[in-house]
Amino acid sequence: MLNNLNKNLEDLLSWIDKNGYEGWDPYDVQGSEFYTKYLMNKNIFAKITRRLFDKFSFYFPLMTRRVLNLKPRKNAKAMALLCLSFIKFYNMTGDEKYYDKYKEVLIWLLKNNHSNTENTLGWGYPFDWHSLIFIPKETPLCVPTVLVGHAMLDELEHTSNQVNIESLHKIKNFLTKSLNITNINEKEICFSYSPIDDYMVINANLYTASFLTRYAVMFRNKDVLELARKSRRFAMSQQESDGSWPYWSYLYKVKMPKFVDNYHTGIKLQWLKMCNIIDPIDGEKEVIDMGLKYFYENLFSEDGLPKFSDELTYPVDIHGPAQAFVTFNFLDKHTELSFANRVYEFVTNKMMDKKGYFYYRIDKYGHTSKIPYFRWSQAWMLYGLVNLKEYKDKK
């Protein structure tokens, strides 16, 4: 089972060491001046041109970036994933070289904080992001910020190193004071994605809840714990009767199409399970069990292919298996080793290059986009494989 896992993990680590931490990203093209200026207009011509350009960018990713003069850059979320991977590897092996790598990456993150206040820490992306609103580059976001926070908590739990405690307090401040909070009722709230939006994205809300739960338990902060519980209750209330979750809350002011995808479902399960272990609340276990059943039965094919959504098999996105390995580890008692092995065999046979890095996507026509995106593919798969190794070692 999980043949050559250690070798594949070492090959990816070697590729990262050789190529460094800078890289392209699936969304850096959309953050380019050309894209923003000419393709984001609301007229029909711009919309048609944008769709054609997105297709061209998928099939010719390197040419597109060269034409637009886009350079590989370090991405705070990728660096956060490296932090999580290195500190977990250190905790698993005791090898000091991984602790040194963790500290090196964390130092970069602390020096490149995107928050604009002295008592907060937050990180965003190095490119503009077109969502329902325009989010400028380096706008601090909950997701990369929480990932950095969890890495620091991992270090504190396993090494008792107190040096980053002040940084943990500042991350808590960003999440509780800078993000926007939608009050649903007396028992439920939803945290926004960034300080400039009011999105009700269920997985993003759970990112924030996961850190705040862990932080509150560690530092015995009842007020923060109550916020986290309200956030978790909101996510629980958004689960459908079949066990699935949409990406956007149905309560959001803009009615979004229902979309149940693989990796965001895995993220929700991961964070709910982590919270439930350290601070169980009523009904949470049942919600997790229902979500897991839907996850396994509707978001994977029989041969281990991680489907894009419950309705679409393709494109197969590298995020799917990467997050699946993390979810399997967090919910290890609920996952058969044979099932994890099928997913592993698929991704290593179909989406891993002989040089050690992982491909981006396989579309419905069988075309594989082999560009080595760093944040989206390599950093996520490193974190995924480290979790898969820990999961295997527990079996």
Domains, in order of start, for the chain: 5-394 (1.50.10.10)
Q: How confident is the model at residue 334 (pLDDT cuts 50, 70, 90)?
A: confident
Q: In this predicted structure, what is the pLDDT of residue 156?
A: 95
pLDDT higher than 90, residue 312: yes
Locate all alpha helices (DSSP H) within 238-333, ordered by sequence.
262-278, 284-298, 319-330
Question: Tens digits of per-residue pLDDT, 258-302?
Answer: 999 999 999 999 999 999 999 999 999 999 999 999 999 999 998
pLDDT at residue number 138: 97
Residues 348-352 have a mean pLDDT of 96
Which residue, chain included where needed, has tokens 């990262």?
16
- Please answer whether residues 77 and 373 qualify as being in contact, where contact means their C-beta atoms are separated by less than 8 angstroms: no
pLDDT band at 38 (very low <50, low <70, confident <90, very high): confident
User: What is the model's pLDDT at position 43?
Assistant: 83
The whole-angstrom separation of Cα 65 and Cα 72 is 9
Phi, psi of 73 (to 5 degrees): -135, 160
Tell me what pLDDT residue 67 has: 94
- The whole-number pLDDT of residue 332 equals 84
Helix (H) or strand (E) holding 185: strand 181-185
Higher pLDDT among residues 226 and 304, named by residue: 226
Residue 42: the pLDDT is 77
Q: Which CA distances in Å does 213 have to 20, 102, 159, 265?
A: 34, 23, 20, 20
Burial 44-76 (b: 16+ CB within 10 A, else e): eeeeeebeebeeebbeebeebbeeeebebbbbb
Instruction: Encode pLDDT of 227-246 as tens digits.
Output: 999 999 999 999 999 999 99
Q: Residue 386 above 80 pLDDT?
A: yes
Confidence of residue 317 (pLDDT cuts 50, 70, 90): very high
Round the CA-based radius of gyration of the chain to a whole number and report it.
20
154-176 burial, b if ≥16 CB within 10 A, otherwise e?
bbbeeeeeeebeebbebbbbbbb
- Note the pLDDT of residue 44: 87
Q: What is the mean pLDDT of residues 313-324?
A: 97
CA-based angle 284:285:288, to the nearest 5?
90
Separation between Cα atoms, residue 286 and residue 269, nearest integer Å: 12
Question: CA–CA separation, 322 vs 6, rounded Å?
Answer: 16
pLDDT of residue 395: 78
What's the residue count for the chain? Answer: 395
Give the side-chain half-sphere CA count within 13 A for 145. Answer: 37
The two beta strands, 181-185 and 188-191, are antiparallel
pLDDT score for 382: 98
- For residues 249 and 255, give the distance between their C-alpha atoms in angstroms, rounded to a whole number: 9
User: How far lies 232's CA from each of 58, 206, 217, in Å?
Assistant: 36, 7, 15
Per-residue pLDDT at 335: 80
DSSP state of 71: P
pLDDT for position 101: 98
Q: Provide the token pair at 176.
A: 């509780």
Taking the complete model, does pTM exceed 0.85, yes or no? Answer: yes
Tell me if 355 sits within 8 A of 348, measured CB to CB. Answer: no
Residue 333 reports pLDDT greater than 80: no
Percent pLDDT > 70 in the chain is 100
By mean pLDDT, which of 6-20, 42-56, 192-206, 315-329 is the weakest?
42-56
The pLDDT of residue 1 is 81
In Å, the largest CA–CA distance within the chain is 58
- How much is the pLDDT for 194? 98
What would the mean pLDDT of 97-124 be, rounded to a whole number? Answer: 97
Q: What distance in Å separates the CA atoms of residue 362 and residue 6, rounded to the nearest whole number?
A: 25
Report pLDDT for 125: 97
Q: What is the pLDDT of residue 91?
A: 94
Q: Which of 171, 10, 214, 208 is nearest to 97 (CA)?
A: 10
DSSP letter, residue 123:
B
CB 41 within 8 A of CB 391: no
pLDDT > 90? residue 77: yes
Please tell me the number of Cα atoms within 13 Å of 384 on its side-chain side: 26
* CA dist list (Å): 99 to 16, 246, 339: 16, 38, 31
Averaged pLDDT, 326-355: 93
Kindly state the tokens that stand for 217.
Answer: 């338990």
